[in-house]
Amino acid sequence: MTTHSPSFKTPELDFAFEARVDIAPSEHVGHAGGPVLGFTPITGGTVRGPRLNGEVVDGGGDWAVDRPGVAVDLDARYLIRADDGALIDVVNRGFWVASPEVDAAAESGERVDPARYYFRTQPVFRTDAPEHTWLTHTVFVGMAYDDADLRQIRIEFFEVR
- Looking at the structure of the chain, the number of domains it has is 1
Establish if 50 belongs to a structural domain.
Answer: yes
pTM across the whole model: 0.90
What are the residue ranges of helices labelled H in 51-152? Answer: 100-107
Pairing mode, strands 71-82 and 87-98: antiparallel
User: Can you give the pLDDT of all 161 residues of the chain as single tens digits?
Assistant: 556 666 778 999 999 999 999 999 999 998 877 888 999 999 999 999 999 999 999 999 999 999 888 999 999 999 999 999 999 999 999 999 999 999 888 878 788 889 999 999 999 999 999 999 999 999 999 999 988 667 899 999 999 99
Establish if 6 belongs to a structural domain.
Answer: no
Range of the domain at 122: 13-160
Establish if 7 belongs to a structural domain.
Answer: no
Return the CATH number at 153: 2.40.160.20
Establish if 53 belongs to a structural domain.
Answer: yes
CA dihedral defined by 43, 127, 154, 70, rounded to 10 degrees? Answer: 100
